[in-house]
């Protein structure tokens, strides 16, 4: 279970980082403001999901 939880946390954090980088690239290139808004909303959703996953893993390991 420890290996699975490590992978799950890593995937959650990596997905947030990827969307953040895509948003920065879009902004630096002067891309569509609508695309920037979509990426920001997706990043916020992924951050929330990552926090929930991390907290669940910490709770699971403490039990």
**DSSP alpha helices (H): ranges in the chain?**
2-28, 33-62
For residue 47, what are its two tokens?
């951050």
Q: What is the mean pLDDT of residues 15-33?
A: 94
Q: How far apart are CA 25 and CA 13, in angstroms?
A: 18
Question: DSSP state, 31?
Answer: -
Residue 1 pLDDT greater than 70, yes or no: no
Specify the length of the chain in residues. Answer: 63
Higher per-residue pLDDT: 62 or 19: 19
pTM comes to 0.86
């Amino acid at each position: 279970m420890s290996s699975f939880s490590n992978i799950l946390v890593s995937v959650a954090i990596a997905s947030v980082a990827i969307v953040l980088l895509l948003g920065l690239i879009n902004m630096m290139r002067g891309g569509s403001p609508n695309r920037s808004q979509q990426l920001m909303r997706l990043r916020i959703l992924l951050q929330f999901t990552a926090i929930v996953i991390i907290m669940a893993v910490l709770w699971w390991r403490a039990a």
